Amino acid sequence: MNKKDLYCLINYTNIVLDYIFVTLRQPIVCHCSIVETKIAYMKDTNIWFLEEVNLFEYFCPFTGAEDRYQAQGKRSYKKGEFIYFSDDLSDKVFFIHKGAVKIASYTDEGDEMIKAVLNKGEVFGELAVYGEQRRSDYAQAIEPTEVCILSREDTTALMQNLSGFQNFLMGLIGRRIIFTQKRLESLLFKDAKTRITEYVIQQAESKGRTLGGQVVMKNHLTHQEIANYTGTSRQTVTTVLNQLREANFIDFNRKRMTVKDIKALKGSIR
């Protein structure tokens, strides 16, 4: 993808954000009993989103959420198994109950372009209820994964009948557009080392667990996949990660990565 294409994508995301700003003005309120709901305001925007929403509460507001979940369609996937492919019919929305999922597509040159890595409690395939007819990307389990599957019709009914659910999906799309916009700007204006370091920081802040002042996270992606995500090469990823380890910012193996001092890591790219 050249710089002209990236600029066009950034302008497009700004247009979509303007629409969401007008549509979604009020903060979202959700009362959840199983998982604590965190409501966060995105600085310098009018977008509200829910970080750790207990989606079971949306599925069944009047009875036991787990009972309602058991009645929904769900499926288990092995590591490496595809949940859907590019150009598949877009008629379902997926909720990750366990595991992790990679959302990606291929460029015209045949290179993989990773758009997101999602974990337990996150949603994907939501564009099925906003006019997408065919998938523009693919979803692949990157560890043993279990998802709850809702049809487009069931999701639309939830949006109509449950207060806040439509706002949740709109906020979700808004957050992902903002995240995509930042990634595009990073590809345009930042060097490879900064992009890889920012990837580590982003994963630590969104996926990691704090233990004894350090942040520990699962190492889902290979060095090649991190390269696909950051627009670099496998050799560059390996070199930068080793440099960060030698500087005592991080430590890692095939399964886990530990950020020893996230503030110092952030300071290293300023």
- 82-138 confidence digits (pLDDT tens): 999 999 999 999 988 889 999 999 988 888 989 889 988 888 999 898 889 999 999
Distance CA 91, CA 99 (A): 22
Q: Which CATH class is domain 64-153?
A: mainly beta
Pairing of strands 145-151, 73-77: antiparallel
The pLDDT score that the predictor gives to residue 58 is 54
Domain ranges in the chain with CATH number 2.60.120.10: 64-153
Percent of the chain, pLDDT > 90?
Answer: 42
Q: Is 254 a residue whose pLDDT tops 60? A: yes
Give the Cα-Cα-Cα angle 92, 95, 99 (nearest 5 degrees): 125
CATH entry, 191-267, from 3.40.50.150, 3.60.70.12, 1.10.150.120, 1.10.10.10: 1.10.10.10
253, 254, 258, 262: CA torsion to nearest 10:
110
Domain ranges in the chain with CATH number 1.10.10.10: 191-267
Mean residue pLDDT of the chain comes to 77
Q: How many CA atoms lie within 13 A of 58 on its CB side?
A: 29
Give the tens place of pLDDT for each residue, 33-87.
Answer: 323 333 333 333 322 333 344 565 554 343 344 444 444 577 899 999 999 999 9
Q: What is the mean pLDDT of residues 156-177?
A: 80
Distance CA 252, CA 160 (A): 46
Longest dimension (CA), the chain: 54
Query: CB of 269 within 8 A of CB of 197?
Result: yes
Q: What pairs with residue 42 in β-bridges?
A: none
Give the tens place of pLDDT for each residue, 73-96.
Answer: 778 999 999 999 999 999 999 988
Element (H, E) at 97: strand 92-98
